[in-house]
Chains A and B, each alone.
Chain A
Amino acid sequence: MTAPSFRLLLERHGGFAGVPLRAELKSADMAADASQRLWTLVERALRSPPGGTAPGQVRPPADSFTYRLTVVTPDQHDEYAFDESTVGSELRPLVQQLEQHLTM
């Protein structure tokens, strides 16, 4: 699917440091091919909406990160909150990509 114009915001909280970090990427600021690659990761990540508890996960690991992901397009504005321990194979590539851009 051709990527719509979009804005992605990843906020990371907690971890040992407890320092909140954020990354914001806009398709308008990206080359068309980079925008398309990133949107492919978004589509993959949202096949199963992030959140909930990982199978067999009774409690989160101490000092694990928590995340808040916001996806904005002309047709949607969705926010997802999840814990590091629930990041599965579908979501991980997007989180890892966005984490490259985290700043204070």
Chain B
Amino acid sequence: MVTTPNAATTSRRAGAGGKAVTRSSVACIVPPFVLDDFARNGDSDQRAAALEALALDMSLRDRRSTAAAVRFASGAVDNRLLVEQLGSPGQPHRLIYDIANATSGSATLVRAEGQDPVGDDAANEAYDGLGDTYTLFWDVFQRDSIDDHGMDLRAIVHYGVGYDNAFWNGEQMVFGDGRLFKRFTLSLDVIGHELQHGVTEHESGLLYQDQSGALNESLSDVFGSLVKQYKLRQPVSEADWLIGADIVGPTFPGRALRDMADPGTAWERDPQPGHMDDFVVTMDDHGGVHINSGIPNKAFHTLAMSLDGYAWTDAGTIWYEALRHYRLQPESTFRAFARLTTVVARRQFGRQSTQATAVQDAWRAVGVSRADS
């Protein structure tokens, strides 16, 4: 168990004067994912109450966006109090901790939001990477952090001794220094991947097992890649579509850990399939979540290449709205997600639109949807 000080302040923000403030909204007292759960699974009274609270929540988001726009556009004095009370949408609140090669116990805060770089590359990389990830979500999707309510972005660096991994533990992102791999903070798509796990947990709660787990993994690869592409302002034709290319060393037998454009080719024993015909059934890796994620990864890549331009615009928006859709359930399959992306694309762009057709074609290309669907 890893702890960071003041964990209870998650989803609170520091006001302009540095004083912690808590938003006074019913919609903020109950986390949105709990409201979503009641809206989906509750009885009629619970559904009605949840939908009302969610409507309030949406209203608050609108007020916060408006307040932010006013602040950034004019700096109007009269709105300062409102902005302070509502937090600072559009601004991340990052907290980077050093656990000094331990795997449990307390970690030390080494860099907080707004502070200058410190003498530790891993801490600075985590700080910058979380900022870049927040920027994509805010700029493109108007999402305010992991929970869309300004949740603190907490990262722990130097976890374990030579720990060859990074993970999301439900509260924070944890990064190892690596032994077979380089330190995991070196890669922006790794940082984006881990933060997206938090977003997925807050939105649909996709179970981390079997097909729903592979979909969960794929969403993290997709948005991890989008973070990098947005940072570099790369059109789809220039993106490398690789995951983990920055953390494999010269002795690793491959160019990356995963290749979204061509699953199964990133390294010499890359087990990822790119089509449902090759779906892998296994007990390991939580039912092959890092293996079968190649299938929806390839679907997203196919869609993005078909639409051309920047992947974070149409393709990214369709994926983002689908992962937020109330019909995406914890045990949803690839096919369920494919249907939702089609629903979203038709609603956003039109039933016969290029985007909607491209979404269907992409899922058919990887064997998730049938040719007649």
Taking beta carbons and an 8 Å cutoff, which residues of A are in contact with B?
11, 13-21, 59-66, 68, 81, 83, 102, 104
Counting chain B CB atoms within 10 Å of each CB, the highest count among A13, A15, A16 belongs to A16
Contact B284 A62 (CB under 8 A): no
Q: Which residues of A sit under 8 angstroms from B17, Cβ to Cβ?
A: none
Residues of A within 8 A of B220 (CB): 62
Which chain B residue shows the least CB distance to A92? B103
**Which residues of chain B (267-314) have a CB below 8 Å from chain A?**
267, 269, 271, 283-286, 289-291
Given contacts A18-B258, A62-B217, A83-B286, 4 further A-B contacts (CB under 8 A): A16-B184, A16-B257, A17-B290, A64-B167
B197 interface residue (CB < 8 Å to A)? yes
| Complex alpha-carbon distance, A33 and B207, angstroms | 45
Question: A19, A21, A62: which contacts B257 (Cβ < 8 A)?
Answer: A19
Given contacts A21-B180, A62-B220, contact A16 B166 (CB under 8 A): yes
Known contacts A16-B167, A63-B166: does B284 contact A68 (CB below 8 Å)?
Answer: yes
In the assembled complex, 19 residue pairs joining A and B whose CB atoms fall closer than 8 Å, in A order, are A14-B290, A16-B165, A16-B166, A16-B184, A17-B164, A17-B247, A18-B290, A19-B257, A20-B284, A61-B169, A62-B201, A62-B208, A63-B193, A63-B194, A64-B167, A66-B284, A66-B286, A81-B283, A81-B284
Q: Which residues of B contact A (CB under 8 A)?
A: 164-170, 180-181, 184, 190, 193-194, 197, 201, 207-208, 216-217, 220, 244, 247, 253, 257-258, 267, 269, 271, 283-286, 289-291
Q: Which of A14, A17, A60, A102 contacts B284 (CB 8 A)?
A: A14
Residue from the list B184, B286, B291 in contact with A60, Cβ < 8 A: B286
How many angstroms from the CA of A20 to the CA of B257 in the assembled complex? 11
Task: Report chain A residues within 8 Å CB of B285.
Answer: 13-14, 18, 20, 66
- Given A16-B167, A21-B180, A59 contacting B207 (CB threshold 8 A): yes
CA gap between A29 and B207 in the complex, in Å? 42
> In whole Å, how far is A67's beta carbon from the nearest beta carbon of chain B?
9
User: Please, which residues of chain A bring their CB within 8 A of the CB of B201?
Assistant: 62
Taking a contact as CB atoms under 8 Å apart, the answer to whether B168 and A63 are in contact is: yes
6 cross-chain pairs, A with B, having the tightest CB-CB distances, nearest first: A18-B290, A14-B285, A13-B284, A63-B167, A62-B197, A13-B285
B284 A104 Cβ-Cβ under 8 A: no
A61 contacts B184, C-beta separation under 8 Å: no
CB distance from A65 to the nearest CB of B (A): 7
Provide the residues of chain A in CB contact with B170, threshold 8 Å: 61
Pair B180/A60 contact, Cβ less than 8 Å: no
Instruction: For A66, list chain B residues within 8 Å (CB).
Output: 284-286
Give complex CA distance A59, B181 in Å.
26
With A60-B208, A61-B170, A104-B253 as known contacts, state yes or no: A18 contacts B284, CB within 8 Å. no
Residue of B nearest to A64 (CB): B167
* Cα-based distance from A64 to B201 in the complex (angstroms): 15
Q: Are A15 and B194 in contact (CB under 8 A)?
A: no
Max count, chain B CB within 10 A of own CB: residue among A14, A18, A61, A102: A18
Return the chain A residue nearest B220 by Cβ.
A62
| A16 engages B193 (CB within 8 Å) | yes
Query: In the complex, what distance in Å separates the CA atom of A16 from the CA atom of B176?
Result: 11
- Residue picked from A19, A61, A104, most chain B C-beta under 10 Å: A19
Q: Quick one: given A14-B285, A14-B286, are A63 and B165 in contact (CB under 8 Å)?
A: yes
Contact A16 B180, beta carbon cutoff 8 Å = no
Please state if A18 and B291 are interface contacts (CB–CB under 8 Å).
yes
Minimum C-beta distance from B192 to chain A (A): 12
Tell me which residues across on chain A come within 8 A of B184, comparing CB atoms.
16
Instruction: Please state if A59 and B208 are interface contacts (CB–CB under 8 Å).
Output: yes
Contact of A17 among B257, B283, B286, B291 (CB under 8 A): B257
Chain B residues positioned under 8 Å from A11 (CB to CB): 284
In whole angstroms, how far apart are the Cα atoms of A83 and B165 in the complex?
A: 14
Chain B residues near A62 (CB-CB < 8 A): 167-168, 194, 197, 201, 208, 216-217, 220
Q: Measured between alpha carbons, how far is A19 from B291 in the docked complex, in Å?
A: 10
Q: Which chain A residues lie closer than 8 Å to B197 at the CB level?
A: 62-63
Query: Which chain B positions have C-beta within 8 A of A81?
Result: 283-284
